[in-house]
């Protein structure tokens, strides 16, 4: 029976498959095969023996079930795999399985293979999310809306600005991911405490060849394990991605509030929002993303704790990483795909966007009026104070900014009513918003990270 939601609810098959028991076992066997091949290349074992180990180093010959059966006796999962592979091999090859290696030569190198596959999936997710955001940014570069700071109406902006900003965030994650690959996709073949004593004078060459066959970089130096700051960095990357996804999801949730109602996550035909209130249209996918982001961020702390292993290593990282690494990747991949789906089906209520833009009856343009009065000779502080007092009057009396400005003799000595209309049109106070969006879209399409 399945227990963890990443097994049956919060997952996509491609990422989950990378962390299954069978795929993990196959990665271990891949490393054993590469090690045997390296030994043969330097003349330590017969070529035929290495070829036999390579033939049998797959889950068709070494099953998860057989490894678990042996592990009940050995209480050591890697040794159980070694025994099962040895059983599967014929002839002299039996003598050379796992020659010179310690368990974490296999485990850490295989983990790098898993991380490579997982990071490739994640990178494609991020690039697809960026493409969707760039499309939305371009489409809505001139969709004027009210900008909000501190939860209050501020100045006009555009929806294109929101999407271009998020696309830039995602582009930085792609850059970080590519940097992380340099430090995370490494393996070792250096024995029990990292001295390579079990490999003798050919240790460096065996490590180099093993990693070459696997497409990994060899660590320059290791103890019994690859140092855990590398894996903690990966976990931090996942947390940063989760933070951006939560930022996006939270904004959509707030914009979907009944009182705002500007954008809505897609709502499928036949979808139910509430078991008791038929009218409800809850932003459940965005809420789920926000909730799961907390889980991914929480995985950073135990990952950081695994950096400080005792002496040449202890086992406190093992139990942690069996949980944190699969959870982090599976949940982050799931959240990315959920957000891509939300954005592809995002619905806009343009009437409400216009209504909210006009809700404060021109008060969101006080900065524009202030700047224009300064251009006509009024001091900046004087103009600010005047607009502050006039805005308070608007709030008290429930009047538009224009009506109050028309009654101010000092203002009307500097401007005409027609000019006030031009100043109080939100479309005329967007600064370089449209150009910024176009620059981001052009830059990320022409030279993506």
Q: Catalytic site residues?
A: 150, 274
Of 171, 95, 87, 136, the C-alpha closest to 348 is 136
Question: Strand ranges (DSSP E) for 219-306?
Answer: 263-264
CA-to-CA separations, 68 to 3, 23, 25, 65, 169, in angstroms, rounded: 20, 15, 11, 5, 44
**Dist CA 370 CA 21 (whole Å):** 66
Question: Which residues on neighbouring strands pair with residue 146, listed in sequence order?
Answer: 156
- Measure the CA dihedral 172/237/18/204, to 10°: 100
The residue count of the chain comes to 449
Specify the pairing of strand 144-149 against strand 152-158: antiparallel
DSSP character string of 319-362: HHHHHHHHHHHHHHHHHHHHHHHHHHT-EE-HHHHHHHHTTTTT
Counting beta carbons within 10 angstroms of the beta carbon of residue 280, is it exposed (0 to 12), middle (13 to 18) or buried (19 or more)? exposed
Is the Cβ–Cβ distance between 364 and 148 less than 8 Å?
no
Is the Cβ–Cβ distance between 339 and 19 less than 8 Å?
no
| Residue 377: alpha-carbon gap to chain centroid | 50
Q: Report the chain's terminal Cα–Cα distance, integer Å.
A: 42
Neighbouring CB atoms inside 10 A of 432's CB total 9
Is the Cβ–Cβ distance between 226 and 219 less than 8 Å?
yes
Neighbouring CB atoms inside 10 A of 217's CB total 17
Token digits of residue 209: 């060849």
Residue 263: strand, helix, or coil: strand
- Residues 6+ away with beta carbon under 8 Å from 143: 158, 159, 160, 348, 350, 353
- Measure the CA dihedral 425/427/429/430, to 10°: 160
- Residues 6+ away with beta carbon under 8 Å from 281: 256, 264, 267, 273
């Amino acid at each position: 029976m399945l227990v963890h939601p990443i097994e049956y609810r919060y997952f996509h098959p491609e990422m989950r498959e990378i962390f299954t028991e069978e795929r993990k076992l196959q990665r271990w066997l891949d490393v054993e095969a590469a090690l045997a091949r390296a030994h043969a290349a330097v003349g330590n074992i017969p070529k035929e023996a290495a070829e036999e180990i390579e033939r049998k180093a797959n889950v068709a010959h070494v099953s998860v079930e057989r490894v678990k059966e042996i592990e009940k006796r050995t209480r050591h999962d890697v040794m159980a795999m070694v025994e099962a592979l040895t059983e599967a091999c014929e002839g002299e090859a039996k003598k050379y399985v796992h020659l010179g290696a310690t368990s974490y030569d296999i485990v850490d190198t295989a983990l790098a293979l898993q991380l490579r596959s997982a990071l490739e999936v994640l990178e494609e997710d991020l690039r697809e999310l960026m493409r969707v955001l760039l499309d939305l940014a371009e489409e809505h570069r001139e969709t004027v809306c009210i900008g909000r700071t501190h939860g209050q109406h501020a100045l006009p902006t555009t929806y294109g600005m929101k999407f271009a900003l998020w696309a830039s965030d995602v582009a930085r994650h792609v850059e970080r991911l590519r940097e992380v690959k340099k430090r995370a996709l490494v393996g070792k073949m250096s024995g029990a405490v990292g001295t390579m004593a079990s490999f003798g004078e050919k240790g460096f060459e065996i490590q180099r060849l093993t990693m070459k066959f696997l497409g990994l970089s060899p660590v320059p130096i290791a103890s019994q394990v690859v140092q855990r700051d590398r894996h903690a960095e990966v976990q931090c990357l996942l947390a940063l991605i989760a933070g951006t996804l939560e930022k996006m999801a939270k904004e959509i949730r707030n914009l979907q509030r009944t009182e705002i109602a500007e954008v809505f996550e897609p709502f499928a035909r036949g979808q139910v929002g509430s078991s008791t209130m038929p009218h409800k249209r809850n932003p459940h996918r965005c809420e789920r993303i926000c909730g799961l982001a907390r889980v991914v961020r929480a995985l950073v702390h135990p990952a950081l704790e695994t950096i400080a292993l005792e002496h040449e290593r202890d086992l406190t990282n093992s139990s942690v990483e069996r949980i944190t690494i699969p959870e982090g990747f599976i949940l982050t991949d799931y959240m990315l795909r959920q957000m891509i789906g939300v954005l592809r089906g995002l619905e806009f209520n343009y009437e409400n966007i216009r209504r909210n833009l006009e809700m404060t009856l021109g008060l969101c343009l006080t900065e524009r009026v202030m700047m224009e009065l300064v251009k006509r000779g009024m001091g900046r502080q004087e103009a600010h104070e005047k607009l502050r007092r006039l805005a308070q009057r608007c709030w008290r009396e429930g009047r538009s900014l224009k009506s109050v400005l028309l009654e101010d003799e000092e203002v009307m000595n500097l401007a005409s009513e027609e000019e006030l209309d031009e100043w109080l049109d939100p479309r005329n106070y967007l600064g370089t918003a449209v150009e910024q969006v176009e620059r981001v879209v052009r830059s990320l399409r022409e030279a993506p990270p």
